[in-house]
């Protein structure tokens, strides 16, 4: 049975309360959200925020035992001429969707956040993660949120949950609307880390930041 977590709570991912083992060969971290409906009246309909105007992007930072990033990737020019930062390293995001080890990847992007279920998914092959990786911080940033005055204060029903390879939900962390999230354009939802016994645990974070720039968030990890 899935365990609902509160901010700051930690849960061992290897077994449930009855001791049954979870299948960690492929754990799905699903993230979801809903956009607050526009205000009523003619001004709300024409000038209020529209779900399709928001682009929320999931990310993951892979860290060592000292909570430092070993390889932030390179700046490269793609075949279409785009300049891409943090490519091929331990930062997983929309321009670098798969880790070189093949053990962590993003499955796709749903811009609207409309409807039930996951809006983005991060897949972790926890039983095969390289030994140098001791923690994975997972979050979401609003693309150009500062430019368009978009923030988590106008996002409802945000959540992250962990599902094992057999489809069993292990844990769920839900974030209700919070006035403190106004002007906050990025959010660290959760952290997956190796505990003292060497097994994997899940920690609910819910830490919001005003920046929408992943490079600024990366500074914390060197």
Residue 167 burial (CB count, 10 A): 8
User: What are the strands, taking DSSP E only, across the chain?
Assistant: 3-5, 10-12, 27-35, 56-63, 74-77, 83-87, 91-92, 104-106, 120-124, 135-142, 155-163, 169-175, 186-194, 200-209
Strands 74-77 and 120-124: what pairing?
unpaired
| pLDDT tens by residue, 25-84 | 999 999 988 876 655 555 455 455 554 467 889 999 999 999 999 999 999 998 999 999
Q: Which has more pLDDT, 44 or 164?
A: 164
Task: Quick: pLDDT tens for 5-23.
Answer: 999 999 999 988 788 899 9
Q: List the structure tokens of 212.
A: 């929408």
| pLDDT recorded at residue 93 | 95
Determine the distance from the C-alpha atom of residue 199 to the mean position of all C-alpha atoms in its chain, rounded to a whole number: 21
**Residue 172: its pLDDT value, please?**
93
Q: What is the DSSP letter of 8?
A: T
pLDDT score, position 16: 83
pLDDT at 131 over 90: yes
Going from N- to C-terminal start, the domains of the chain cover: 3-37+48-221
Query: In CATH, which superfamily holds the domain spanning 3-37+48-221?
Result: sav2460 like domains (2.60.60.30)
| Residue where the block lists tokens 């968030």 | 217
Q: What are 171-193's pLDDT values in tens digits?
A: 999 987 778 888 999 999 999 99
36 secondary structure, DSSP code? P
Please report the pLDDT score of residue 38 as a whole number.
56
| Sequence-ordered list of residues with C-beta below 8 angstroms from that of 160, at least 6 positions apart, any chain | 29, 30, 31, 32, 138, 172, 173, 189, 190, 204
pLDDT, tens digit (0-9, with 9 covering 90-100), for 77-129 = 989 999 999 999 999 999 999 999 999 999 865 544 444 588 899 999 999 99
């Amino acid at each position: 049975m899935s365990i609902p977590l509160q901010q700051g709570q930690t849960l061992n991912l290897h077994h449930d309360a009855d001791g049954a083992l979870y299948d960690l060969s492929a754990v799905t971290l699903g993230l979801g959200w809903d956009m607050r409906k526009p205000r009523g009246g003619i001004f709300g309909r024409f000038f209020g925020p529209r779900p399709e105007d928001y682009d929320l992007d999931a990310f993951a930072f892979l860290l060592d035992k000292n909570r430092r990033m070993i390889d932030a990737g390179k700046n490269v020019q793609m075949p279409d001429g785009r300049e891409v930062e943090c490519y091929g390293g331990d930062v997983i995001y929309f321009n670098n969707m798969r880790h070189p080890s093949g053990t962590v990847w993003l499955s796709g992007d749903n811009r609207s956040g409309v409807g039930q279920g996951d809006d983005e998914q991060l897949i972790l092959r926890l039983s095969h993660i390289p030994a140098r990786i001791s923690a994975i911080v997972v979050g979401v940033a609003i693309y150009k949120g500062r430019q368009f005055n978009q923030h988590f204060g106008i996002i409802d029903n945000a959540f992250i949950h962990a599902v094992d390879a057999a489809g069993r939900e292990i844990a769920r962390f839900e974030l209700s609307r919070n006035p403190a999230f106004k002007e906050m354009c990025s959010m660290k939802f959760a952290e997956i880390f190796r505990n003292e016994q060497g097994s994997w645990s899940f920690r609910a974070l819910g830490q919001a930041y005003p920046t929408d720039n992943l490079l600024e968030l990366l500074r914390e990890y060197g």
